Structure 1
């Protein structure tokens, strides 16, 4: 399920600042990157299952591996993990209200902090 109108999508920010800011809110990049893309995850393990709040991003002019990139963020999404298949984001998934509320609060906090560091073209 995608989160609409979060104010995060299309934000451009330096990768190093973004890594620190996201980590502060429980969103970790870890090994989820290649030279042009990044994924930040916040893992929720609750009685209804394991879920991931994900924020994807990409760079048009930089190198993620060299920590030298401006990242453009995409629309955040939440998905449910199914072992051993992976994370599903489909319309048929059911997401608990308390999980959605927590995710929305995290995204709102991230948006507030991003504003101070956003790169304007």
Structure 2
């Protein structure tokens, strides 16, 4: 599920500042290449594992350089289906909504 109206898409900053903010908000940088990084926050319940993912795309420089310029994309919420991958049509369970809202608000506050 794409979270369209969060105000995250288009936020710009240096990779060092973005990574520090994402870690502070509870995200972990899992996969990355020189043009983008995925920051994930994991949620679990008795049914499945879920992830709130925010991608950072480079606009100048290469990742791993703290001074590289990046722009954030819209957050997405996905459900992990083993062994098939990620289901991007998953709805957000009510138990996770408050934590997601707080994480997004924290990112916006720290990077805006």
Question: 2 CA distance for matches of 1:28 and 1:69?
Answer: 19
The equivalent residue for 2:12 is: 12
What is the aligned-residue RMSD (CA, Å)? 1.4
- Give 1 or 2: higher strand fraction: 2
Question: 2 CA distance for matches of 1:81 and 1:111?
Answer: 26
Displacement of 1:2 in angstroms is 1.2
Displacement of 1:94 in angstroms is 3.4
- What is the CA deviation profile of residues 28-87 of structure 1, one whole-angstrom value per residue up to 9, with x for unaligned ones? 113x11001111000112223100000012112211144441110000010000111111
Question: Gaps (5+ residues) in structure 1?
Answer: 116-121
The equivalent residue for 2:98 is: 101
- In structure 2, the residue corresponding to 1:8 is in which secondary structure? coil
1:35 aligns with 2:55: no
Task: Tell me the TM-score normalized by structure 2.
Answer: 0.91
- Larger CA deviation: 60-69 vs 32-41: 60-69
The equivalent residue for 1:119 is: none
Question: Gaps (5+ residues) in structure 2?
Answer: none
The equivalent residue for 1:110 is: 107
Task: Tell me the TM-score normalized by structure 1.
Answer: 0.85
- In structure 2, the residue corresponding to 1:108 is in which secondary structure? helix
- In structure 2, the residue corresponding to 1:29 is in which secondary structure? strand
Question: 2 CA distance for matches of 1:40 and 1:94?
Answer: 19
